Amino acid sequence: MLNIEIDKVEERLLRLERDHSLVKLTDEYELADGTLTQRYRFVHMLYQNAMLKSLKASRRAALNRAVAQTIVDLYGERSEGMANELATLFEEGRDYARAAEFYRLAAQAAVRVHANQEAILLARQGLKMVGMLPDTNDRMRHELALIVALLEPLAATEGLTSSEFAAHYTRARDLTRQLGDSSQILLTLNLVA
């Protein structure tokens, strides 16, 4: 959580709306845990950009992580439905392992609705996040899961003979051998069967 009392936040936002016209109340709703809340938006992108520029990078990253974690805590398993947004928040929060995981979930969700191009972009972004992690078995597991998520939409859009598919397939096979995880190799092999 952000360690600020909700009523103080709401007072500040009301003042920003009433006295300065920087934000506007757009919605009032109930969160998953029953908490009543309000949603505000900046009235102009210039205000939002100015506010973001005024924050130091470390503060901006900490706020993004806190917001992402709060969403995960509030929504639990249902937070997977917000995987794309959570991936971006964790990426901006410099939590690359969590960002990679949510990019994988978002890519898998895109595949389920046949949005293969979007799935490819999401999985590729997840792989970029994996590249930021130290070289450990956890990193290899994240990479393998993302490659598996990438192979199906690649096969559907570019075909099994494309150079990108072949490179990722070979990397997935190598990772499964390094990890000694035969269940993942079977999953990977099923994609091309």
CATH code, 185:
1.25.40
Q: Residue 3's domain spans which residues?
A: 1-54
Check whether 52 has a pLDDT greater than 80: yes
Question: Computed over its alpha carbons, how large is the radius of gyration of the chain?
Answer: 20
Closest CA to 138 of 103, 96, 78, 173: 96
Q: Distance (Å, rounded) from C-alpha 150 to C-alpha 51?
A: 36
Q: pLDDT tens digits, residue range 131-150?
A: 999 999 999 999 999 999 99
48 shares a domain with 87: no
Q: pLDDT tens digits, residue range 89-109?
A: 999 999 999 999 999 999 999
Check whether 186 has a pLDDT greater than 70: no
89 shares a domain with 160: yes
Helix (H, G, I), strand (E, B) or coil at 45: helix
Q: pLDDT tens digits, residue range 54-82?
A: 999 999 999 999 999 988 988 888 888 89
153 shares a domain with 79: yes
34 shares a domain with 75: no
44 shares a domain with 78: no
Q: How many domains does the chain have?
A: 2
40 shares a domain with 66: no
- The secondary structure of residue 55, as a DSSP letter, is S
- The structure's pTM equals 0.83
69 shares a domain with 39: no
